[in-house]
């Protein structure tokens, strides 16, 4: 049955994309694991925490400039990939909006820095970290995903990560070099962005056409619900580091952020498969919802088993893994790793139920509402638990919020007659 609705061409394409993204995630996994033990030891919990707090702050502007195009524009380009004129129109419209949002983000960040003492104290690190936003705007990941040419994402990102890794070991040698981490990180993002733009124009011959206001408004509308969803997600992901930094101190942020990076590395190993199949599922759903759901059933089974095993291993080996990678100064991070060890399994399922199923079935509004509800729950829990339990409190808040998202999405789909575990729509 599986072979009936996946032709040879798409099998080959999915495998190639999966392989490319696997290599990318391998680099994303290995290179940070090389630099992380070095950085946490050289910088110490306090300065490492400050660097992570700055990145958490800057992530809000990355979310704003991404807007939701990583899903909405990916889907649209996937549908019109054979129409060069239409693809050029989509590309130009999206890039123009992102550049306008970039300027707005810079002005907004400046206003925040000059208005609050906490940001004034280390103003330079925030401006230097803003290079991440510039690089992210320039890098049209959504374009490469839409045309299913993930190998370019792989090559460009590996170049970026290599630049960061090499420069960190060359120039970051003492605690006072924490400011250089921001410079090097931003440089890697910007180089990746410039290379990607060059590839888009040289390889794919995208032509620039000044879009009409109607085209811009259309793109804004298409990405709106995804943007709200992503913003809501940030309230129980990015915002956790931010809230922790506001209510505690940089050292506590360092304990949490270091542990969170270990968990994200594990989650990242599951990401390539999800990214590789999203364009295919989008196309398959437009042709036959029944075949799409049957395909998703099989994905749920395999990805569920792999992610569950990952979570179990993380929990069992939390202490030796933390001490080995982070060092003795991060004993407080062990409990965080144990609490968050369940996330690979929970997030793998929520990705299938949410992005792969709800978004492709056009249940975008419900998708947004679930994430907004989860963000409200997370904020309430964070504001209640962080002042008392600090890094343990925020970890608990994150886990509860993610479980809520997964269960809510499953229930919603069930009510709509989408039986993922049975592989059918009733």
Q: What is the pLDDT of residues 305-343, one digit of tens each?
A: 999 999 999 999 999 999 999 999 999 999 999 999 999
What is the domain extent for residue 181?
Answer: 2-425
Can you tell me which residue has the tokens 């004993």? 331
385 close to 401: Cβ distance less than 8 angstroms: no
Q: Is the pLDDT of residue 157 over 70?
A: yes
- Please give the residue that has the higher pLDDT: either 124 or 32: 124
Three-state DSSP state, 362: coil
Q: Which segment of 48-52, 137-141, 281-285 scores lowest on mean pLDDT?
A: 281-285
What pLDDT is attached to residue 2? 46
Distance between CA atoms of 201 and 420, rounded to whole angstroms?
Answer: 40
How is residue 93 written in tokens?
């419209």
Phi (first) and psi of residue 419, to 5 degrees: -100, 85
Provide the pLDDT confidence category of residue 7 given band limits of 50, 70 and 90.
low
CA distances from 341 to 149, 265, 317, 338, 390 (A): 32, 11, 10, 5, 18
What pLDDT is attached to residue 9? 59
316 close to 328: Cβ distance less than 8 angstroms: no
- Please give the residue that has the higher pLDDT: either 61 or 424: 61
- Please give the residue that has the higher pLDDT: either 117 or 228: 117
Distance between CA atoms of 362 and 365, rounded to whole angstroms?
Answer: 8
Total of domains in the chain:
1
- CA trace torsion 63, 64, 65, 67 (10° rounding): 80
| Mean pLDDT for all residues in the chain | 86
Give percent above pLDDT 90 in the chain: 48
Across 342-347, average pLDDT: 95
What pLDDT is attached to residue 25? 59
The answer, as to whether pTM is greater than 0.75, is: yes
Across 148-166, average pLDDT: 82
Burial class of residue 19 in the structure, from the number of CB atoms within 10 Å of its CB (0-12 exposed, 13-18 middle, 19+ buried)? middle
What pLDDT is attached to residue 10? 55
Sign of the dihedral defined by the CA atoms of residues 139, 368, 273, 234, in that order: positive
């Amino acid at each position: 049955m599986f072979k009936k609705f996946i032709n040879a061409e798409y099998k080959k394409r999915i495998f190639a994309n999966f392989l490319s993204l696997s290599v990318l995630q391998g680099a994303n996994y290995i290179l940070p694991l090389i630099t992380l033990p070095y950085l946490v030891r050289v910088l110490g919990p306090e300065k490492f925490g400050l660097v992570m707090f700055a990145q958490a702050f800057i992530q809000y502007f990355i979310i704003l400039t991404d807007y939701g195009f990583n899903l909405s524009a990916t889907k649209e380009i996937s549908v019109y990939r054979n129409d060069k004129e239409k693809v050029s129109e989509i590309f130009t419209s999206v890039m123009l909006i992102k550049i306008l949002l970039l300027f707005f983000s810079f002005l907004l960040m400046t206003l925040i820095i000059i208005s609050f003492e906490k940001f004034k104290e280390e103003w330079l690190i925030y401006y230097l970290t803003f290079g991440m936003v510039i690089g992210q705007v320039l890098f049209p990941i959504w374009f490469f995903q839409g045309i299913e040419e993930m190998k370019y994402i792989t090559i460009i990102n590996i170049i970026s990560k290599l630049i960061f890794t090499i420069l960190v070991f060359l120039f970051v040698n003492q605690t006072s070099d924490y400011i250089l981490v921001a410079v090097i990180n931003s440089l890697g993002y910007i180089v990746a962005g410039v290379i990607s733009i060059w590839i888009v124009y040289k390889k794919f011959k995208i032509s620039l056409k000044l879009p009409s206001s109607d085209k811009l408004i259309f793109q804004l509308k298409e990405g709106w619900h995804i943007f709200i969803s992503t913003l809501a997600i940030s309230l129980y992901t990015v915002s956790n580091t931010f809230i922790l930094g506001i209510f505690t101190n940089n050292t506590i942020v360092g304990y949490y952020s270091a542990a969170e990076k270990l968990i994200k590395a594990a989650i990242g190993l599951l990401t390539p498969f999800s990214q590789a199949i999203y364009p295919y599922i989008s196309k398959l759903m437009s042709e036959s919802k029944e075949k799409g759901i049957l395909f998703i059933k099989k994905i749920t089974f395999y990805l569920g088993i792999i992610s569950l095993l990952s979570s179990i291993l993380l929990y069992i080996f939390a202490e030796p893994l933390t001490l080995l990678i982070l060092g003795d100064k991060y004993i407080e991070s062990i409990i965080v790793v144990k609490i968050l060890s369940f996330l690979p399994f929970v997030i793998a399922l929520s990705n299938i139920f949410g992005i792969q199923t709800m978004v492709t079935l056009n249940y975008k509004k419900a998708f947004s509402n679930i994430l907004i509800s989860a963000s409200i729950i997370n904020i309430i829990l964070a504001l209640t638990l962080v002042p008392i339990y600090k890094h343990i409190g925020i970890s608990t808040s994150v886990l509860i919020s993610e479980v809520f998202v997964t269960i809510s999405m499953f229930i919603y789909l069930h009510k709509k007659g989408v039986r993922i575990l049975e592989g059918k729509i009733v």
